[in-house]
Amino acid sequence: MRKHINLFLFGWLLALPLLVAQQRTYEVYSAAFYNLENLFDVEDDPDNRGDDEFQPEGPYNWTREKYEKKLDNLAEVISRLGREYSPLGPAVIGVSEVENRQVL
């Protein structure tokens, strides 16, 4: 009989941390990566020959209005990233295809 009581108590001692651990709450953080797809401003950078296409006289006819509209659209999308899992949005966001830090 004593063995059964000891075994029962030992089982409870093993199960107790599992029962307590189930009461913990966790916060979810998210990370995101987004390709900004040729985010260039309209300023001509003489050191960057890759921005010539994104000038008002370039093949894309890139204008201040187009640039600002793209920024608005990107801001809308980025503001929604990860919201279904983390209400505050991503803790870290990686991006690619940005002309320079000023544009970012």
Residues 69-100 pLDDT 10s:
999 999 999 999 988 888 888 999 999 999 98
Q: Cβ distance 35 to 97 under 8 Å?
A: yes
Give, as one character, the DSSP assignment of residue 86: -
Three-state DSSP at 76 gives helix
The domain tally of the chain equals 1
Range of the domain at 88: 26-98
Q: Does 14 map to a domain? A: no
Q: Report the residue count for the chain.
A: 104
Examine residue 19 and state whether it is found in any structural domain, yes or no. Answer: no
Instruction: Spell out the residues 6+ positions from residue 104 whose beta carbon is closer than 8 angstroms to its own.
Output: 39, 95, 98
Tell me 91's DSSP state. Answer: S
Q: Which tens digit of pLDDT belongs to each residue from 20-65?
A: 555 677 788 889 999 999 999 988 888 777 888 888 888 989 999 9
In a domain, 73, yes or no: yes
Q: What is the rounded CA–CA span in Å between residue 70 and residue 68?
A: 5
Examine residue 62 and state whether it is found in any structural domain, yes or no. Answer: yes
